[in-house]
Each structure stands twice: as C-alpha cells, then as structure tokens.
Amino acid sequence: MRSINRRSWRSEDRNDPSLSEVLYVLWERRPLIVGAVALLVLAAVAFGFMREPVYTAEAIVNVRPQQSLESDEEKTAFLEQVRGVVATDADFNREVMRRAGWETGAADFTERLDPEPYVAGDEAGLRVRFSGSEPGVAARAANAYAEHFVERVEQLNDERIAGGSLAAEASMVQRATPPERSNPRPLLYAVLAAGAGVLIGGAAALLLEGRARGWRDVRDVELTLRAPVLGVIPDYSSDGKEA
C-alpha cells in the first residue's frame, strides 16, 4: 500500500504537479479527452466537406533582362518593374479573363490570382498561381495570364525597338496543369482538430481534477497528496455518513 518511499517523500518538490500525476489524471479522465477529440474531429471533417474545394494551379514565366543584373534585389526590382509595365492595366486583366473564360467578375478573378516574382540563382520570373473551384478553371486561368504576359512583353519589346522603354525577354517555362488535390483537405483538418482536442480535453481534465471531491484509489491519493497512504477503509455504512 505504501508505494511512496518514506525517506524521500517529504523532500520532494511539492510546488508543481509531477509528470506522473498529470499522466495519471489524463488517463483517468480519458473519456473526456476522447470526447473532446471526437467532437472537434467531427466538426473539422464536416467543415472540410461542406466548404467549397479550392484547386490551385501554377504556371511559371521566365523573365530575362537584356542588361546584366548582379544582385537578387536588383532582379526582384526589375521583375516588379516589368510586371508594373505589362500587367497592371484593366485591359490586360480583361483579356486574361476572356481567354480563361471567366465570367463571374473582375474582383473575384483578381482575388484568386497571385502572380509572385521569384529569383533562383540565374533564373528569375513570375510564379502565376490561380485558385479556382474546379481544377480545369484554375489551370486555364493561370495559363491565360502567363501566356498573355509573355505576349505583352514581346509586344512591348517590339515597341521598344520603335522607341519604347522595356528591355526584357519572357518565355513560358512551365504550363499549369489541373491540380489533383484541393484545399481545404478534410484529413489535414481532422489531424489538426485532433491535436486541438487533446489540448482542450487535457486542460479541461486537469481543471476538473483540481475541483473534484472524489478520490479514486490509493494511487490517486498518493499522487495528489504526495504522502504515503497507511490505510484504506471501505464504506460499509448503509447511508455513507460518518462522523
């Protein structure tokens, strides 16, 4: 019965709950934790299935300056400049939407479009991402933007010869293909919800334990009080009341 070493139990640090005490509480209150996990996982899976799936497709356009640029900062600034000249007017977006067959509005189209400059060693360009509710739409829109971007750079280069200011070459290095996986992913949400359930359920278990009036057994007493249990007296009274 006295599992705590009498020589050492008084000298134990009594300020913080021990790991064994926490694990014991979590194990004894496992129905609460399992319940919290199950509830959150169900909610997450339901959320994942009810929400409209989002497919993201990516096309890559390579952009090369005609003059030599040394640093990544210079290359990034150059890419922003090219994008500013080529792709910021309303006509550009209207043409991309027309090619993509997009009919639900310019604002929604712009929100789903994400052209991002990249620099990787000697290579630099744009990663054109588009998020749509269908894989084909996402790929078509990303490719429409990339293709029209390349065409506009070539067109402006031709105009430069005739007096324009752009000095760059662009080419499509990767066409977007319809993505197979969508976001949100119910499985990922379920895993995250399970983790949250363990944390919330565990915290609730420890909170309830601190307010409990019931003792389960000798181990519960020894872990909670960190003192040896010398005796266990069962309740033989009919009404459970004693002096």
Partner 1 sequence: MDLLLDPGSPMRGHYEDLASNLLSVGNVRSIVVTNPEPGAGCTSVCLGLGAALAGMGYRAAVVDCNLDSPQVHRMLGEPNFVGLTSGLVGDKTLEHYGHEIVPGLLVVPTGPVLSDPAAKLDTEAFLATVRGLEESRDVVILDAPVAGRVLRSPNLSGGFDGILLVVHASRTSKRIARETTDDLIDAGVNLLGVVLNGCR
Q: Which residues bind partner 1 (CB under 8 A)?
A: 1-2, 6, 10, 14, 209-215, 217-218, 221-222, 224-237, 240, 242-243
Choice between 70 and 242, CB closer to partner 1? 242
* Minimum CB–partner distance for residue 218 and partner 1 (Å): 6
Considering beta carbons, is residue 39 or 221 the nearer one to partner 1? 221
As measured in angstroms, the least distance from the Cβ of 30 to partner 1 is 18
Of the two residues 25 and 87, which places its CB atom closer to partner 1 in the complex?
25
Q: Which is nearer to partner 1, 163 or 240 (CB)?
A: 240
Angle between helical axes of 19-28 and 186-211 (0-180°, round to 10)? 110
Strand 55-65 relative to strand 168-174: parallel, antiparallel, unpaired?
A: antiparallel
The total of other beta-carbon atoms located within 10 Å of residue 112's CB is 20
Pick from 120, 113, 105: nearest CA to 56? 113
Q: How far apart are CA 146 and CA 128, in angstroms?
A: 7
CB of residue 182 vs partner 1: minimum separation in angstroms? 49
CA distances from 93 to 37, 143, 183 (A): 46, 13, 25
d(C-alpha 226, C-alpha 216), whole Å: 15
- Min. distance of Cβ 14 from partner 1 in angstroms? 6
Nearer to partner 1, 163 or 234 (CB): 234
Instruction: Find the shortest distance in angstroms from Cβ 104 to partner 1.
Output: 59
d(CA 29, CA 208): 9
